[in-house]
Amino acid sequence: MKGIHKFDLITSVSLSLITFAVLGFFYYTIILYTNATYSDSDLQESMVNKMNQEEKVFTPPIDMKRLVINLPSKTRRLRFLELEMSFETLEKNNENFLEKYGPLIKDVAIGEVGRMTPAELNSLSGKIILEQRLKTKIREKTQKNLISRIFYRRFVVQ
């Protein structure tokens, strides 16, 4: 080593501690630690119990017809978004949802899409941002929490 007794001692002790820690970690992960094993019947029973406790009623999503929205463009080329959406609502009674809120949703969609560039809309994060903006604007305008999720059935930027 270096010939300095204290330095050699500190180096030897620290390397020994690191070696014992790594060996202890491997001993624990290989010999002592066991993964929890699940049997199919136990898992199925727990899922059935959980589903029985949660009394949820499935409400199918509401489909909105196709919208074609012009996008801002710095070039002379015409850019637009062809958009078809489905809405998952929080209300169980949603037969007249589009009759009641359809024009408002179209207005909000046109306004929010018009503020975004085609490059933003083409990205996954842009689609998520658009969904969040639509939901918050609709909440602001209606003073109700109507929509839980928005699904894009058709999303074409040209």
Q: Do 103 and 31 belong to one domain?
A: no
The pLDDT > 90 percentage for the chain reads: 24
Q: Do 68 and 105 belong to one domain?
A: yes
Nearest to 86 by CA among 63, 109, 110, 59: 63
Q: Do 29 and 77 belong to one domain?
A: no
Q: Do 98 and 151 belong to one domain?
A: yes
Per the CB < 8 A criterion, the answer to whether 156 and 81 are in contact is yes
pLDDT level of residue 54 (50, 70, 90 thresholds): low
Q: Do 67 and 121 belong to one domain?
A: yes
Q: Do 92 and 120 belong to one domain?
A: yes
Pairing of strands 67-71, 79-89: antiparallel
Show the domain range for 141. Answer: 62-157
Q: Do 22 and 91 belong to one domain?
A: no
pTM above 0.75? Answer: no
Q: Do 42 and 69 belong to one domain?
A: no
Q: Do 35 and 109 belong to one domain?
A: no
Q: Do 70 and 134 belong to one domain?
A: yes
pLDDT value at position 152? 92
Q: Do 74 and 105 belong to one domain?
A: yes
- Rounded average pLDDT over 105-133: 90
Rounded to 5 degrees, what are φ and ψ at 72?
-70, 140
Domain count, the chain: 2
